[in-house]
């Protein structure tokens, strides 16, 4: 990577950075951040807490001009991250600043289902921001500790990829992966699953059934109410847009409570629920709200129908 000031390229530049260890991480990030500061760009770093502190310390005085966000918080559910970048991009662009971001959604320690969603999220970033205002987003990947599949996925989801030795266009970048990822079947639930079907008259009953289940397995009251709200919104979506009826499934694992809604409708836009709906827009709020409130949301849709799986960590 060069530290010389370059004229920024137009468009959205989405780049993966593969690093090996803390020193390598800093070798890659420090020039990227400082180049942005030198160009008077608005630099925002979204990293898990430990990496964020590492970078902040290494930046010294320069850290004051950088905005730091805890990726484990804003990106706990990866489907929230595009909304966060979208808001920052709009705000900075409106203020006449160019945005330069660092985002490490697929950090070490994530659960498998979260890595799956990070993969879809990284792919969708291109859909969301290609053709919009120009900005750069650098996504660090820990090549040493992450599962191989996660690293390989990043080569597919980023048009640019590199190491501290230099960056290049990723020959493996494959935007066409999106349909397969968005239409994929989620892993099958275990045997012990509670199932029910709902129609137009059953929204309150569905909400109460989900709340009752969440209480029974010992979730705290605020999570119970959150799931009840999610159930109401998602079941309502099935009635309105998903063929008029749907099915709810609920099961528990040692680490999570899972509630899943399925219907026969198809969600045409894979970005549904990832960006803040405008105030006057009629639909599109339910999934956005669910993304914001739930620990992990997995939306899949194809000609076969739509499934939304909500995971609440215990």
Partner 1 sequence: MRAHGELIEVPGAGATDHICWVYDQDDATFDRAVRRFLAGGLARGDRLLCIGERVLACLAVEDDDFAGADALLGSGALRTMTTRQAYEATGVFAAGTQLAYYRAATEAALADGFTGLRVVADVSPLAADPGVREELVRWEHVADSFAASGAGFTAMCAYSAELTAEALTEVASVHPLAHVSAEPTFRVFFDDDRVALSGSVDTFSADRLARVLESSPVSGDGAVLDLARVEFVDVAASRVIARWARDLDARSLPLEVQGASPVLRRMWRVLGLADVAGVRFAA
242, containing H or E segment: none
Distance (Å, rounded) from C-alpha 143 to C-alpha 18? 6
Q: How far is the CB of 310 from partner 1 (least distance, A)?
A: 14
Closest to 57 (Cα-Cα) out of 95, 96, 90, 22? 22
203 binds partner 1 (CB under 8 A): yes
Sheet arrangement for strand 135-142? 66-70, 42-47, 99-103, 135-142, 12-19, 160-163, 166-169
How large is the greatest C-alpha to C-alpha distance in the chain, in angstroms? Answer: 64
Q: Does 178 bind partner 1 (CB under 8 A)?
A: no
Decide the pairing of beta strands 256-263 and 305-313: antiparallel
Binding flag, residue 288, partner 1 (CB under 8 A): yes
| Window contacting partner 1 (CB under 8 A); options: 7-15, 31-39, 158-166, 278-286 | 278-286
Closest approach of Cβ 289 to partner 1, in Å?
6
Site stretch for partner 1 (CB under 8 A), options 52-60, 117-125, 183-191, 273-281: 273-281
Among 72, 113, 271, 276, which residue interacts with partner 1 (rule: CB under 8 A)? 276
Residues 16-55: x where in contact with partner 1 by CB under 8 A, - otherwise, as a string:
----------------------------------------
Does position 272 interact with partner 1 (CB under 8 A)? The reply is no
How does 275-306 read in b/e, with b if 16+ C-beta sit within 10 Å?
bebeeeeeebebbbbbbebbbbbbbbbeeebb
Q: Which is nearer to partner 1, 31 or 265 (CB)?
A: 265
| C-alpha distance from residue 49 to each of 83, 136, 216 (Å) | 20, 22, 34
The C-alpha atoms of residue 85 and residue 12 are separated, in whole angstroms, by 12
Q: Shortest distance, CB of residue 27 to partner 1, whole angstroms?
A: 38
Count of residues that bind partner 1 according to CB under 8 A: 21
314 binds partner 1 (CB under 8 A): no
Judged by CB under 8 A, the residue of 21, 109, 190, 204 near partner 1 is 204
Q: Which of residues 293-312 bind partner 1 (CB under 8 A)?
A: 293
CA-based end-to-end distance of the chain: 42
Residues 207-246 that bind partner 1 (CB under 8 A): 207, 222, 225-226, 228-229, 232-233, 236, 240
CA distances to 3, 38, 164, 196, 244 from 262, rounded to whole Å, are: 50, 50, 44, 11, 11
- What residues line the site for partner 1 (CB under 8 A)? 203-204, 207, 222, 225-226, 228-229, 232-233, 236, 240, 276-277, 279, 285-286, 288-289, 292-293
């Amino acid at each position: 990577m060069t530290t010389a000031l370059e004229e920024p390229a137009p468009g959205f530049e989405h780049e993966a950075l593969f690093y090996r260890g803390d020193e390598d991480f800093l070798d890659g990030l420090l020039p990227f951040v400082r180049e942005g500061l030198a160009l008077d760009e608005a630099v925002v770093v979204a990293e898990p807490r430990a990496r964020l502190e590492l970078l902040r310390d290494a930046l010294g005085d320069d850290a004051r001009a950088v905005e730091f966000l805890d990726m484990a918080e804003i990106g706990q559910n990866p489907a929230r991250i595009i909304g966060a970048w979208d808001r920052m991009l709009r705000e900075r662009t409106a203020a006449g600043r160019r945005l330069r971001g660092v985002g490490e959604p697929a950090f070490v320690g994530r659960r498998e289902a979260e890595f799956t969603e990070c993969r879809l999220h990284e792919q969708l970033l291109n859909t969301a921001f290609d053709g919009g205002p120009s900005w750069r987003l650098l996504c660090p990947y820990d090549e040493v500790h992450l599962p191989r599949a996660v690293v390989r996925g990043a080569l597919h989801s980023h048009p640019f990829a590199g190491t501290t030795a230099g960056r290049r266009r990723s020959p493996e970048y494959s935007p066409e992966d999106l349909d397969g990822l968005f239409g994929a079947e989620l892993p099958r639930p275990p045997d012990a699953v509670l199932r029910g079907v709902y129609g137009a008259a059953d929204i309150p009953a569905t909400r109460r059934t989900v709340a009752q289940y969440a209480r029974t397995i010992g979730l705290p009251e605020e999570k119970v109410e959150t799931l009840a709200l999610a159930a109401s919104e998602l079941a309502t979506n099935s009635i309105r847009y998903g063929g008029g009826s749907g099915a709810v499934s609920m099961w528990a694992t040692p680490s999570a409570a899972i509630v899943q809604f399925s219907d026969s409708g198809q969600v045409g836009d894979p970005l549904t629920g990832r960006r803040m709906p405008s105030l006057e827009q009629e639909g599109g709020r339910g999934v956005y709200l669910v993304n914001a409130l739930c620990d992990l949301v997995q939306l899949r849709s194809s000609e076969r129908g739509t499934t939304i799986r909500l995971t609440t960590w215990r």
